[in-house]
Copies of this chain bind each other. A is one copy, B any other.
Amino acid sequence: MSKGIRDRVAVIGMGCTRFAEHWDKSVDDLLVDAAYDAFEDAGIEPTDIEAAWLGTMASGYAGFTLAGPLKTQYIPVTRVENLCATGSEAFRNACYAVASGVYDIVLAIGVEKLKDSGYSGLTRPQPPSDGTAPNITAPASFSFLAPAYFKKYGLDPEQGKGVLSRIAWKNHYNGSLNPKAQFRNEVPIEQIKKSPMVAAPLGIMDCSGVADGAAAAIIVRSEDAHKYRKDPMYVKALSIAAGPGDGRIRQDFDFTSIQENVASSTAAYKEAGITNPREEIDMAEVHDCFTPTELVIYEDLGFSERGEGWKDVLDGAFELEGRLPVNPDGGLKSFGHPIGASGLRMLYEMYLQFQGRAGQRQLDNPKIGLTHNLGGTPWQCVSFVSIVGKEKSD
């Protein structure tokens, strides 16, 4: 019988670059910066690493892009890729390799350098040639969630826009407290509401940006973690669900829920032994690529009842002082979204918060955190959920 990852591996070091427009740095520079930040944090030498997983969607290939700059000496380096969930896959596969007992200490690292890549934001790198599946921009594909949600739950457009803007406002406010965030400015809610339209009803302020960056984690088995530090982060669940679609919008897709999110969170809660996520989870980093995505995620992951997420937003439930702070680091919206790095950046925030190192945005002693990372379109995606903890369960 499968037994889950439950507390069997731990993170003993993490690193992250600032997410930004790094015109003056190469992909290799970003990898070195994040990796050495993690090595230093863990108190290890680069040569201590026995194997590595590199997550990148388009800023490299194979293990070469990592073995060169890090000067690793004939260790395994595996590239993994799962669109915007790529960084989480690097972490997940690295955790399994350690849990298997094959390696004692490994590196998971993610990178993307998008600003100079010509990245178009199209949802399908290889659009089907038969024209049956839409090849539209990411903002357009996620924009569909907003009017569908508003209609289903009786919000008029003005109300709906207010809810979305409040989500963007929250993430910008949180990012303003984060020295590593791409956008470190608070933005008034009225300015968010009036931001130039990108894909109605989404304005530019409803959208995460395009950024460069890298993030890294050092993973060991839990029984070894205290050799490295007194305050490791424990991994309680890792779940990925890939939707069975073919790129077409499914006939039964209702645009107010993403089935992949439901599947991955349900599996993760089971793996971690969580029965009431609203009560048991103290903080979360979720995939707020666009504001309606975050709104739907609240309900898909059980942070809000169905149809109640928008009320919880207006009540401040997910703000730093709320009952379940979401995206305390600023999220994709404000921290930035260099694709291969984002999943690891989310874990980085959990790690800092558990250790009381989150500065002005520090929460009050959080013990259980969740990260949620999504790749694809609402109607066909991969959804990743991790549950991490400050302490080992009994």
B81 touching A82, Cβ below 8 Å? no
A4 to B125, CA, bound (A): 37
Interface pair A102/B244, CB less than 8 Å apart: no
17 residue pairs from A and B, CB less than 8 Å apart: A2-B104, A8-B100, A61-B83, A61-B125, A61-B126, A62-B83, A62-B242, A62-B382, A64-B242, A66-B242, A71-B244, A73-B244, A74-B259, A77-B82, A96-B102, A99-B100, A99-B101
What is the number of residues of chain A that contact chain B, defined by CB distance less than 8 Å? 62
A89 at the binding interface (Cβ < 8 Å) = yes
A125 cross-chain contacts in B, Cβ below 8 A: 61
Contact A81 B102 (CB under 8 A): no
A295 in the interface, Cβ–Cβ < 8 Å?
A: no
* B3:A242 contact, CB within 8 angstroms: no
How many copies, total? 2
- Known A1-B104, A102-B5; judge A63-B382 contact (CB<8 A): yes
- CB–CB B242/A76 < 8 A: yes
The minimal Cβ–Cβ distance linking A117 to chain B, given in whole angstroms, is 11
Assuming the A-B contacts A62-B376, A63-B242, are A50 and B2 also in contact, with contact meaning beta carbons closer than 8 angstroms in the complex? yes
| Interchain nearest-CB distance for A249 vs B (Å) | 14
Residues of B within 8 A of A228 (CB): none
Contact B93 A244 (CB under 8 A): no
A residues whose Cβ falls under 8 Å from a Cβ of B: 1-5, 8, 50, 60-64, 66-69, 71-83, 85, 89, 92-93, 95-97, 99-104, 125-126, 238-247, 259-260, 263-264, 375-376, 380, 382
A3 x B101 contact (CB < 8 A): yes
**Complex-state Cα separation, A102 to B73, whole angstroms:** 30
The residue on B at minimum CB distance from A8 is B100
- With CB as the reference atom, state the residue of chain B lying closest to A85: B62
Instruction: Please report the C-alpha to C-alpha distance between residue A247 and residue B77 in the assembled complex, in whole angstroms.
Output: 16
Cβ-defined partner of A96 (8 Å) among B63, B93, B243, B244 = B93
Q: Which residue of B lies closest to A82 (CB)?
A: B62
Nearest Cβ in chain B — how far from A57, in angstroms? 8
Distance of A104 Cα from B243 Cα, bound (Å): 21
Given contacts A68-B246, A96-B100, A102-B99, whether A80 and B83 have CB atoms under 8 Å apart is no
Q: How far is the CB of A365 from chain B (nearest CB, A)?
A: 30
